[in-house]
Amino acid sequence: MKIAIQGIAGSFHDIAARRYYGMHGDGTGIELLECDTFHDLCQAVQNQSADAAMMAIENTIAGSILSNYALLDTHQLFITGEAYVQIQHHLLALSGQTIQDIKTVQAHPMALLQCTDFFRKYPHIHVEEANDTAAVAKKIRDESLKGVAAIAGYAAAELYGMGILAERIENNTKNYTRFLAISRTPNFTSKDHNKASLSLRVSHTSGTLAEALIVLKHNHINLTKIQSIPIVGLPYEYSIHIDMTWEDYTDYEHAIQELGKQALEIRIFGVYKEGEKNLELTAQKSYAKVIEKTQPTAQAKSDGGKVDIEIDHWKNWVPKAPNAPSEDYLLIAGPCSAETEPQLLQTARDIAALGKTSILRAGVWKPRTRAGGFEGMGTTALAWLKRVKEETGLMIGVEVATGQHVEECLQYGMDIVWIGARTTGNPFSVQEIADAVRGTNLAVMVKNPISPDLELWIGAMERVSLAGIKKLVAIHRGFGTQEKTELRNPPAWSIPMQFRARLPHIPMINDPSHITGRRDKLAEIAQKSLDLGMNGLIIESHLDPDNAWTDAKQQITPKVLGEMLDGLTWRPESNDDGLATEEYTKLEILRSSIDRLDNEFLELLASRMNVVREIGEYKQQNGLEVLQEARWKDLMEKRLSVGGKLNLGDTFIKDMFDRLHTESLETQSSIHSK
C-alpha cells in the first residue's frame, strides 16, 4: 500500500506510518509518497495517488494543527485510526564531525523551539530555519556538507548514515505527537472502535454547547479533546471539534443520535480504535527495528502452529440486508466472473433488489486450470465494480492471487478480497497477499485449498491474521478429486468440521456452487452446510447463467437464488460457537471421515484392478500362466508383515487379500480366454 506522509523517509511521519500501517512492529509492506505540505498529502489521498495517509494533528508541547481538520473537510477524507509517536531529537552531522566543527544547525522551527536549552549551551552554533528535519539530514549526506548539523530522530540518522553528536537534546523529554490515519472511505462500523472525532456547529444562543455536552455526559462518553475552531466566512461563529472515547459502542450510537437532533451540523471525521499510548511502545529506538522484518523468534523457527487468530466478527462490519432470511448468517452472491459492464450492473441490481445479501462477489482475475480460457477482465472490471458499489451500496468482494491484485482492489475501493482455492495451497502466494493487506481495512476470506489439507488452510488464515487482519472468514468450497463424481469438488465434510472443532471462533461459510458444479444440487449442499452449523453461504448468481463465460452450469439467476434461499431451513441459535447442531455431533464428523476414507479406498481398489488387467494382458501376450504361485506367496507374506506393523490383524489381512486375489485371478482368466 502506498501511504502519503508529510516530509520524507526517516521523518516522524514515516515512523508513524510504518508503526500504524505495518503491523506487529513490522514496518514493511508500505511504500511512502513523500509530500511537501499537508495540503499535498490530502490531495494525494483524494485523487488516489496514495491509498491512505498519515498526518500529524497535535503535539503535546506545540498543540494542535487546527488547519488539518479543515483540510480533511475540504478533501472529504476520513480518520480511520491514530498513532502516537514519542518525538526524540538528536543532533546529527556527517560522521567524524565533532560538536566544535558545527557552525550552523538547520531544522524545522518547531524542532528548534523544542531544543532551545541545548543550543543555549553552544552559542557558537548558528541556528537556521528549514522546512523539514529529516530532509536536512538527507541534504547533509547527499552534499557531504561539513559544519552543518540537523535535528532529527534515530530513523533519519540510520537511514542517511549520519553521526549522532548529541542524543536526546529536546528540552522536555515528554514530547509526543499524535498522527491520524487518513483514508477516502470511513471505517466500517465495529464494536472494537472506541474513539471518534467529530465537529459540531451549534446555534449561537446561550446554553446550546452546554446541552450538547450534557448529552455526552449522560451517555457515558469521555471527552479527550474539545476545541473551538473559527468558521471561515462566518466571523465569530465556531465549530466545536471533539474527540471522544467510550467503553460501550451503543453509548456512542445513542449519543450521536441525540446530538444529531441538537446540533445545526455534525461532521463525523471518523470512528476508530484509540491508538496505543503506552509510552514505552511509542518511544522508537531504532529505525532498523521499524523497517526490518520481525526476526523469526525461536518459536517461529519451529514448525509454527502457535498463532492465535483474532477475529472481528462479520456481524460488526457487514450491514444487515433488508430481507435477509436470518441475521445470523453471512450471505454473499454474484457472478463467477465480471464479464461486461451491463452483465455485472444488471446482475448486481437484481441481487441488490432481492435484499437478501449485503455483499456482491465477482471474479476479476480468473484462475483457469487450462491455458487459453477467459481469464477475467482485470482492472477494467474493478472500475465497473466501483460503480456497482456506488449505485447499489453493496459491499464488494473479489478474488486475489497476488500482492498487485490487492493493490488494485484498494485503489478501486473494494471491501473484501478472497484467496482462491488454487492460491491457498501456495504459502508463498498467501504470504505475498498477507503482506499486501497488512495495515489495510480489507476483509479477507480464505477458501480451502484444492487438496484436502487442513493444515494448509489454517496456515493461510494464520498468515493473514499475522498481517493484522481481523475481518476474516473461511470458505468451504470442496476438494479436488481425480474421480468422476456427481459433484465437481466433493465436500469432504469432515475437513471443514475438523477446522471448526479446532478453531470454532472463525466464521465459516459454504460455497455450494463450486462444490456441486451444477445448479440442481445447490440447495441440498447449502442445506447440509447450514445443518452442520456453518455461518453462511457464497453462491454464484448470473443474470443469464447458461451463457455465462465461466462456470455456466452452476450459476443461477438472482430470482432463482431468492427462491432457493427462501426454501432453506435456517437455524439461528445453532451456529454461533462454530459447533454443529446436535444431530451432527462428533459421531457425524467421524462418519464423514469414514465416508471420505472409504471413497479413497474404493478409488485405490479401482486403480489396483486396472493394473491387474494390464498384467493380465501382458501374461496373455507372452504366454504366461495366470496363477504365479511364488509371486502370490511372496506378496501375501509382505502384506502380512506391513499390516502387522499397522496394527491390522493377520486373519483380517489374509481374508482380504485372498478375496482380492480371487477377483484378480477371475479378471485375468477372462482376459486369457479371449
Which residues inside 183-212 make contact with ligand PEP, applying CB under 6 A?
none
Q: Is residue 336 at the binding interface for Mn ion, with CB under 5 A as the rule?
A: yes
Q: Is the dihedral of CA 393, 395, 401, 403 positive or negative?
A: positive
Q: Would you state the cell numbers that stand for residue 447, as one nine-digit string?
A: 477458501
- The least distance separating ligand PEP from the CB of residue 555, rounded to whole angstroms, comes to 10
Query: Minimum Å distance from CB 426 to ligand PEP?
Result: 12
Please give the residues from 25 up to 64 whose contact with ligand PEP meets the rule CB under 6 A. none
Interface region with ligand PEP, contact rule CB under 6 A, candidates 289-297, 382-390, 416-424, 457-465 = 416-424
- Please identify which residue in 260, 367, 378, 567 interacts with ligand PEP, judged by CB under 6 A: 367
Q: Which residue, chain included where needed, has cell 446561550?
A: 206
Partner in contact with 389, chosen from ligand PEP, Mn ion, none, beta carbon below 5 to 8 Å by kind: none
If the CB atoms of residues 374 and 652 are measured against Mn ion, the closer one turns out to be 374
- The residue sitting closest to Mn ion, measured at its beta carbon, is 336
Q: Is the dihedral of CA 517, 522, 528, 530 positive or negative?
A: positive
Selection from Mn ion, ligand PEP, none that 2 binds (CB < 5 to 8 A by kind) is: none
Which grid cell sits at 460?
493461510
Given the complex with ligand PEP, which of 170 and 511 has the nearer CB atom? Answer: 511
Regarding 551 and contact with Mn ion (CB under 5 A), the answer is yes
- Residue 530's Cβ-count burial label (10 Å; 0-12, 13-18, 19+) is buried
Q: Which stretch binds Mn ion (CB under 5 A): 61-69, 185-193, 551-559, 624-632?
A: 551-559
Among 92, 136, 152, 336, binds ligand PEP (CB under 6 A): 336
Quick one: 496 exposed, middle or buried, by C-beta within 10 A (0-12, 13-18, 19+)? Answer: buried
DSSP H or E run through 212: helix 208-218
Cα–Cα distance between 275 and 18 in angstroms, integer? 14
Identify residue 128 by its one-letter amino acid code. Answer: E
Q: Does 339 bind Mn ion (CB under 5 A)?
A: no
Q: How far is the CB of 426 from Mn ion (least distance, A)?
A: 19
- Is residue 502 within 8 A of residue 537, CB to CB? The reply is no
Contact partner at residue 408 from ligand PEP, Mn ion, none, CB < 5 to 8 Å by partner kind: none
DSSP string, 276-306: P--HHHHS---HHHHHSPPPPPHHHHTT---
54 forms beta bridges with 181
Among 193, 195, 514, 519, binds ligand PEP (CB under 6 A): 514
CB of residue 106 to ligand PEP, shortest distance in Å: 56
Sorted by sequence, the CB contacts under 8 Å of residue 315 that are 6+ apart come out as 327
Q: What letter does residue 168 receive in the DSSP assignment?
A: -
Q: Is 399 in the site for Mn ion (CB under 5 A)?
A: no
Tell me if 447 contacts ligand PEP by CB under 6 A.
yes
Residue nearer to ligand PEP on the CB measure, 150 or 336? 336
Nearest 5°: the CA angle 435, 400, 345 is 135
Site string for ligand PEP, 250-289 (x = CB under 6 A): ----------------------------------------
- Choose the binding region for Mn ion from 196-204, 422-430, 550-558, 634-642 (rule: CB under 5 A): 550-558
- Grid cell 488547519 is found at 67
Asked if 333 touches Mn ion (CB under 5 A), the answer is no
Residue 574 CB, nearest distance to ligand PEP (Å)? 25
- 586 vs 543: CA distance, rounded Å: 40
Looking at beta carbons only, is 364 or 612 nearer to ligand PEP? 364
420 scored as a contact of ligand PEP (CB under 6 A): yes
In the chain, the largest separation of any two C-alpha atoms, in whole Å, equals 113
Which of these segments, 70-78, 377-385, 420-428, 595-603, binds ligand PEP (CB under 6 A)?
420-428
d(CA 651, CA 632): 17
Per-residue CA distances from 633 to 393, 627, 629, 639, 657 (Å): 72, 11, 6, 10, 11
Q: Which residues of 568-599 are buried (b: 16+ CB within 10 A; e: fewer)?
A: beebeebbeebbbeeebeeebbeebbeebeee
CB distance 105 to 162 below 8 Å: no
Task: Select the span of 99-107, 128-136, 238-246, 419-427 touching ligand PEP (CB under 6 A).
Answer: 419-427
- CB neighbours (10 Å) of residue 469? 25
- The correct pick among 334, 363, 403, 491 for binding ligand PEP (CB under 6 A) is 363
Minimum distance from CB of 38 to ligand PEP (Å)? 42
Residue (157 or 362) nearer to Mn ion, CB:
362
CA-nearest of 320, 325, 321, 311 to 571 is 325
Rg over alpha carbons for the chain, rounded to the nearest Å, is: 32
Number of residues near ligand PEP (by CB under 6 A): 10
Site string for Mn ion, 80-109 (x = CB under 5 A): ------------------------------
- Decide the pairing of beta strands 52-59 and 176-183: antiparallel
Candidates 661, 667, 666, 668; CA nearest to 621 is 668
- Shorter beta-carbon distance to ligand PEP: residue 362 or 458: 362
- Of 152 and 385, nearer to ligand PEP (C-beta) is 385
Q: Which does 507 bind (CB under 5 to 8 A by kind): Mn ion, ligand PEP, none?
A: none
- CB-wise, 373 or 644, nearer to ligand PEP? 373
> 148-167: which residues touch ligand PEP (CB under 6 A)?
none
Binding footprint of Mn ion, residue count (CB under 5 A): 2
**522 contacts Mn ion (rule: CB under 5 A):** no
Q: Among 77, 149, 324, 421, indicate the residue that binds ligand PEP (CB under 6 A).
A: 421
The long-range contacts involving 218-221, CB below 8 angstroms and separated by at least 24 positions, are 218/255, 219/246, 219/251, 219/252, 219/254, 219/255, 219/258, 220/246, 220/247, 220/248, 220/251, 221/245, 221/246, 221/251, 221/252, 221/255
Q: Which partner from the list ligand PEP, Mn ion, none does 488 bind, CB cut-off 5 to 8 Å by kind?
A: none
Question: What burial class does residue 500 get, using C-beta atoms within 10 Å of its C-beta: 0-12 exposed, 13-18 middle, 19+ buried?
Answer: buried
Do residues 9 and 17 make contact, with C-beta atoms less than 8 angstroms apart? Answer: no
- Smallest separation (angstroms) from Mn ion to the CB of 604: 30
Q: Which stretch binds ligand PEP (CB under 6 A): 227-235, 415-423, 595-603, 633-641?
A: 415-423
State which of residues 138, 405, 477, 500 lies at the interface with ligand PEP (CB under 6 A). 477
Return the one option of Mn ion, ligand PEP, none that residue 447 interacts with (CB less than 5 to 8 A, by type). ligand PEP
User: Which residues of this protein are in contact with Mn ion, per CB under 5 A?
Assistant: 336, 551
User: Which residues of this protein are in contact with ligand PEP, per CB under 6 A?
Assistant: 336, 363, 367, 399, 420-422, 447, 477, 514
